[in-house]
Structure 1
Amino acid sequence: MEEYLIVDGYNIIGAWPELAKLKDRNLEEARDRLIDILAEYQSFSGLKTLLVFDAYYVPGIGGKYVQSKLKVYYTKEKETADELIERLVNNLMGRRRTIYVATNDMTEQHVIFGKGALRLPASELLTKVRLSRKEIKKQIQTETSKRTNPLDGNLSADLKALFEKMRRGK
């Protein structure tokens, strides 16, 4: 079963407190931060993630880019993020595929739900991202604590023998 996550970028930026504050200072920085967060989440969750930014008022911009292994879409001139998200849902919908759309836009949630995708509110996505970060930290700590002697793997056989002799008082 393939799972996809389509994210309405500016909607999520406006809904997540950290990114909303950042957006007020620097929108580009908020976009880059969301890309980093979602790239990490994609790697951990295994969900194929597509991030959509609305370029409705920006003439000539549009296209698909891959940044940090994350597919980032910018809409074409006079196209809304909602229109592109709906098109992506239509293109991806098929057997053995589950598609989630992360947005707080209620109208968009109803439209994509009618097309067969599942809605994911911004707050729920934020919770999933935070839980994945905790799990990553936990796994790192577990891996680190498994190594009883972190120096052991970095020492030559001669040095190990010397230290063993010293330890035994020889």
Structure 2
Amino acid sequence: MEQFLIVDGYNMIGAWPQLQMLRDVSLEEARDRLIDMLAEYQAFSGVKVVLVFDAYQVPGLGKEYRQNRLRVLYTKEKETADELIERLVTELIARRRQIYVATSDMMEQHVIFGLGAFRLTASELLTRIRQGRKEIQHKIKRPALPERNTLDSRIDPSLLAKLEKMRRGE
């Protein structure tokens, strides 16, 4: 089943402690760090991630680009992130698809749930990202050792004992 995750970008930046501190220094750096985190999550989870940033007060037609294989959208002038998220959910809802929306905005959670999507709070998404990182680290630290395919592992133990006696000259 195909899975999509639509993320309210500024909502995550405002809710995740690491990004809050970074935002206070540079909003652009906080956005870039969020993009990196979600690109990593997309890579190990297989979920297609769409990141939405609100450009409500910014004149223009909106913007869409890909960064690290992650789809990043900025809203159009006078369009909120919530409106764009709702439109995306409506477009993506189909059989054999699961749509998740990550936002801590309670009103938006109710709306997208009514449209048929699942909701994730900012803290739930952060927990999933951290768990994924732990799994990756665990796999990196403990590479699977190949099973040894030795001759003595395939020989009957009694025959192996006889061969060992012959080798010793007994």
Matched residues in 2 for 1:71 and 1:44: separation?
16
- Deviations along 1:19-53, whole A, 9 cap, x unmatched? 01111110000000000000000000010000000
Equivalent-residue separation in structure 2 for 1:52 and 1:126 (angstroms): 17
State the 1:58 CA deviation.
1.1
- The letter for the 2-side match of 1:139 is K
For normalisation by structure 2, the TM-score amounts to 0.83
1:117-136 equivalence runs, <5 A? 117-136=117-136
Q: Which whole-Å CA distance do the structure 2 matches of 1:64 and 1:142 have between them?
A: 39
- In the alignment, structure 2 segments of 5+ residues that lack a partner are 147-170
Count matched residues: 146
Instruction: Please give the secondary structure, in 2, of the residue aligned with 1:49.
Output: strand
1: CA distance, partners of 2:27 / 2:68? 19
Distance 1:64 1:140 in 2: 34
* Structure-1 residue corresponding to 2:85: 85
Q: Which residue of 1 aligns with 2:68?
A: 68
| Aligned counterparts of 2:97 and 2:145: Cα–Cα separation in 1 | 37
Query: Identical aligned pairs, as a percentage?
Result: 68
**Partner amino acid, structure 2, of 1:91:** E
Q: Which runs of 5+ in 1 are unaligned?
A: 148-170
CA displacement 1:7-27 (0-9 Å, x = unmatched): 000000000000011111100
Q: Which residue of 2 aligns with 1:58?
A: 58
Q: Which amino acid aligns with 1:70?
A: L
Structure 1, 57-66 or 32-41: larger mean CA deviation: 57-66
Superposition misfits of 4+ residues, deviation over 6 angstroms: none
Larger Rg: 2
Give the CA deviation at 1:63. Answer: 1.7
